[in-house]
Structure formats: C-alpha cells, structure tokens
Chains A and B, each alone.
Chain A
Amino acid sequence: MTVLLETQSVSKNFGALRATREVSFKLEEGARHALIGPNGAGKTTFINLLTGVLPPNSGKVLLKDRDITQMAQAERVKLGIARTFQINRLFRGLSVLENVYMAVAERVGAAPKMLTPAGAQRDVIDESMQLLESLKLADIAHHTIVGLPYGRQRLVELAITLGLKPEVLLLDEPAAGVPSAESHIILDAIDALPKTIGVLIIDHDMDLVFRFAKRITVLVRGAIFAEGTPKEIGANPDVRAVYLGQATQHG
C-alpha cells in the first residue's frame, strides 16, 4: 500500500502545554482510519498540523514522500488535502449552494475569473447541486446558512470539503451535532467516494467509529497511545481504561 500522508515525529507546543508529542503516523491510500482520544488529547491540533493551519515545533509532514512541512494551507489543498472543521466554518451570509460553489470554483480553477459572471459557470453550479443532492441538501440549497439548524450546517461543512475532491480527507468530528438519524448520511457520502481516497475521521461516537474504521489510532495527551484494527483496539484493556473511562465524562 502506498502511504499518502505521513508525519515523522511531529511535536507542537502551546507554551508549556505539549499538545502533540512526537507523533509518527501514516495514512495509506484507501485508508478508513479513525483517530480517537479523550477531549483535549490533541486530535484537532494534529489535523491543524497536517493541513498547515499550525506549524509544528519539530518533526516533518510528508505527502507522498514530499516534505510539505513548510507549505501553506492553500497549497496543500491544491495537492489534495482537505478537511472539515470541528466547529463549523461556513460562509454564513451566503446560500448553501453559494457555499459549495466557493470550493468547487476554487478546485476547477474558475475562481480567479473576473470578467464573466459566477452564474455563467454552469459546470460549477451543476456539480455543486449534485453534491448537495448526494448529501440530501438539495431542497435547502437556496437557504442562507444563518437560518439553518445546526445539523444541516454540519452537512454543508462536509459538502464544501467534498467539493474539493480531495485525495486525503480529514474529518474533525463530522457527526457531532448531527441528529443520530441523519449521521448515516455522512457515512454514506464517504462510502460513495472513490475507494483510493485516504480518510481520517475523528469522532466520539464509538458506534460510528467502529462501523467506519479499518484502523484506529488512540491519542492520549498528545502522544499515540495505541494503534491497531478495531478488534485490537476494542480488546485493549488500557484503551478501555484510559479512553472509555474519560469519554463518558465528556459525552
């Protein structure tokens, strides 16, 4: 299996707090990988290091063996790394369709055009609408984000990211806030993606994690605590003690 995304002993400190400690991690082509760990374990920070939101204090980030540690966020996106945010980051004053349009236009290279109307990019609009349809959002495509229920906004968050057609997809608690009756929409959407894409998902919902993941990494206090198949992780008494014990506190 080819490795898509890899970290070599990355660390990140916030002052005295060591949020990421020498994490060496590999995400393979076609991976369905879950990253779990108690709140504050450093999961989001790790995604921020992978995507270039934060620079690491030490260590390297590699995409297909290429060192991208110093590369800016937007450039990494162009190379195929896309993520969703744990807390929605949407274009709140725009419609659902206009939100997704933003990502698709950027990916197909239409966004720098100045002298033709955005509405004339029919391919971008059509692709955005199809994406919304696949996430059961087509019927609210003309709604402004501000007025939408949180669960819907969560799906728009995912839609924007899928509009980038990434090779590496990083999902930071995509199902948090989505009514459980709808969380299958997220998994269905991921199932519909090309099988070669590497997906890393963070979630607290163990049902979802165990349904989805073929491999699980447990992060505790910034360091990798355990890694293995769902079976191995589920049977690991240390993980049960550390993670499951705390997870009940944090919901």
Chain B
Amino acid sequence: MSATDLQNHPAARALAQRHRLRVWEGLPWLLALACYFAFPRYLGFGTEILITVLFAISLDLALGYAGIVTLGHAAFFGAGAYTVGMLAKNGIWTEPITGLLLGAAVAGLIGFLSGLVLLRTAGLTLLMLTLCFMGLLEESANMGADFTGGFDGLDSLPIKPIVGMFEFDVLYSKTQYLYVLAVLFVCFVFTRTLVYSPFGHSLTGIRENTLRMHAVGAPVERRLVICYTISAAIAGIAGALWAQANAYVNLSTLGLDRAATVLIILVLGGYGRLYGAFVGAFVYMMLEHFLSKLYPEAWQLGLGLLLVVIALFARGGILGIGEELRRRFRGWRNKP
C-alpha cells in the first residue's frame, strides 16, 4: 500500500472521523427543548432528570472510560450541593453561576486529594474505599450540624437570579429547567471533547489493559487522578445545580442511595458511551416516577429483574442492545 492508500485506509479514516458530530446527536437536545413546551407542568421532574444525566455523565467519565470502579460518587455530588448550600445559607455567596464553579472546585479538590490515595488501589478494594470515603463525608455532614444543618439539612436557600435577571421559579421550575439544560450542554460538550481526545483514548487504554499502559510509558496514576478530579468536579456541578434548583440541601445528596442509583442508571443506559447517561437516567426515572405510583412495592423488583437481564445478556445496556440490533440488521442486509 502506498502512503496515500494508508491515509485513506478505512481504519485511518474511521479514527480520524471518530469525533465528528453525528446527526442524531442533536436529538436529545431537541427533545429536551420540546419537553419544555410540551410539558410545562412537569418541568420540576424534568430538571431532576437533567441533573441526574449530568451526574451520570460524570460517573461515565470515571467508570465507563477510565474503568475506575466507584460506589462513592455521591461524595462529589454532595460536596457540590453542600458548598452551594452552606455558602448561601450563611449569606456568603448566593450568585448561582459562580456558585457552580465553587461547587466544582470544592468537589474537584476532594476528588483530587482522595484520588491521590484511593487510586493506588483497584477493583473491589477501590470499590470499598470509595464507599467508605463517601460514608465519612456523609457522617461529617450529619455531625457538623452547626454548618450543615445535620439530618435536616439546609432549606430556603437564598439564590440570586441567574445573570441577575431570571428568578428561580418555585412553582413550575421553568427557569431551573432551562438553566440546568444549558449547564448540562456545556458540561456535555466538554466531556465529549475530552473522551475523544488523545487523553480520553489513553483512559480507555487504562481501562482495557492497565499493565500495558505502563509498558507504553503512560503515567497511569497521574492520568487516573486527573480523570477522577474532572469527574468529581462535574459531579460537584450536578450537586450544586440540585441545591440551587431545589433551594435546599440534605444528607440525601451524599448517600449510598444516590451513588447506587446513578450506577444503576449508567449500567442500564450503557457505560462508556456518553449517551448511556441520557437513556439510563430517562428510562430509570420514568419507571420510578410512574411505576412506583402504580406498584409501590413491586416496581423495584421489576427493576432488579431488568438489571439482572442486562448484566447477563446485554453488558452494553440499552444502547448496547441498540448497537447490536443495528449490527445484525446490517449483516443481514449485506447478505447476498
């Protein structure tokens, strides 16, 4: 093959174009905007879904791309939420957008420091340690009642209007919905850029074969800590949004419940795929919202069964099933 043949080789072209935007990638955003107009009375619920999507994206970066198995990601969600909550409650800082940045900074710092220690381990040990670390934060928030409001949390947070113009909407969450959607979009574009970058490629390398990454000269630990820090900061933004949108913060932002739910959501939607976070959060929260009213006891049983099926037969989650079907359909169509 000549040099130009090699440059035009399908593999080279596929890699060179891997990051290109595909048409369908506009779909989630159009749908989200359409929902704003179509379901004005459900925007509070919609806001909750969007925040969960962002949280799941942050986990996807760490778990889906870099292979960092963590069961303690709510530590960073909570850190962001409490940063906003405590600053606002004490009248120190109530401006929302810079509030997000502060939430990201605090969560990122905690991610960085804990990552330096925890990421020396892997697998089950890491899973346990992340869980313990989150428990530590939760207990501190519980005991430091003077600052955190303890078990009751902090409510009626005074948050200033966005860019000084748009008041948070207590009744229908209209402002919150668009605000969260915009922040989600920015964070998503950043994450998408990151996972398609050489850095993101090296994260998948660490996930696929850590030992080999050492053997090609990659500073594995440093990459993991950087990834974990960024992931924590994004989770912190999600938590900060949650505190701002609800005007309160409580221990639920830091708990195992939230950490486990976001993990389930990511597995359900498909990890290491960016859009799995969207699909998983939407499906899970719709199921929870509607089924839990109809079958308050049984719906979790149904969810459990669904997860077992996914774990056994569809490791790629819902998106993975879609990819498989598309592949089969192509194979079938290409047959003579």
Contacts and interface: CB of A to CB of B under 8 A. Distances in A.
Interface of A: 51, 53, 72-75, 77-78, 82-83, 85, 89-98, 101-103, 105-107, 110-122, 124-126, 129-130, 133, 138, 141-142, 160-161, 163-164
Contact of B15 (A97, A115, A116, A133): A97
B11 interface: yes
Contact of A94 (B6, B16, B204): B204
Given A113-B199, A138-B9, 6 more contacts: A98-B15, A112-B223, A118-B18, A118-B19, A120-B16, A164-B216
B211 interface: yes
Contacts, number: 152
Interface in B198-234: 198-202, 204-205, 208-209, 211-220, 223
B198 A110 contact: yes
Given A94-B208, A126-B6, A141-B9, A118 B216 contact: no
Given A102-B202, A133-B1, A116 B12 contact: no
A138 B8 CA distance: 11
Contacts of A141: 9-12
B291 to A, nearest CB: 34
Interface in B4-35: 6-7, 9-12, 14-19
B198 A129 contact: no
Nearest to A91: B208
B98 to A, nearest CB: 23
A97 B212 contact: no
B117 to A, nearest CB: 18
Nearest to A116: B197
A102 to B, nearest CB: 5
Contacts of B9: 129, 138, 141-142
A146 B2 CA distance: 28
A94 B196 CA distance: 14
Contact of B216 (A119, A126, A160): A160
Interface residues of B, number: 38
Contact of B211 (A89, A111, A124, A130): A89
B202 A105 contact: yes
Given A125-B15, A141-B11, A103 B199 contact: no
Nearest to B222: A112
A142 B196 CA distance: 17
- Residue of A74, A75, A130 with highest tally of chain B CB at under 10 A: A74
If over half of B's interface residues share one DSSP class (helix, strand or loop), that class is named, otherwise mixed; here it is helix
20 contacts: A77-B216, A85-B212, A89-B211, A98-B15, A101-B201, A105-B198, A106-B216, A111-B218, A112-B223, A117-B193, A118-B19, A118-B196, A125-B12, A125-B16, A129-B6, A129-B12, A130-B3, A142-B9, A142-B14, A163-B216
A77 B219 CA distance: 11
A212 B199 CA distance: 38
Interface of B: 1, 3, 6-7, 9-12, 14-19, 193-194, 196-202, 204-205, 208-209, 211-220, 223
Contacts of B211: 53, 89
A115 to B, nearest CB: 6
Which 9 residue pairs spanning A and B have beta carbons closest together?
A: A77-B217, A141-B11, A142-B11, A117-B19, A91-B208, A119-B16, A129-B6, A89-B212, A97-B11
A115 B6 contact: no
A187 B201 CA distance: 30
B204 A96 contact: no
- Residue of B3, B17, B202 with highest tally of chain A CB at under 10 A: B202
Given A91-B205, A93-B208, A126-B3, A106 B217 contact: yes
B288 to A, nearest CB: 31
B215 A82 contact: yes
A130 B6 contact: yes
A90 B194 CA distance: 23
A98 B201 contact: yes
Contacts of B223: 112
A106 B51 CA distance: 35
Given A74-B219, A95-B11, A90 B199 contact: no
Contacts of B16: 119-120, 122, 125
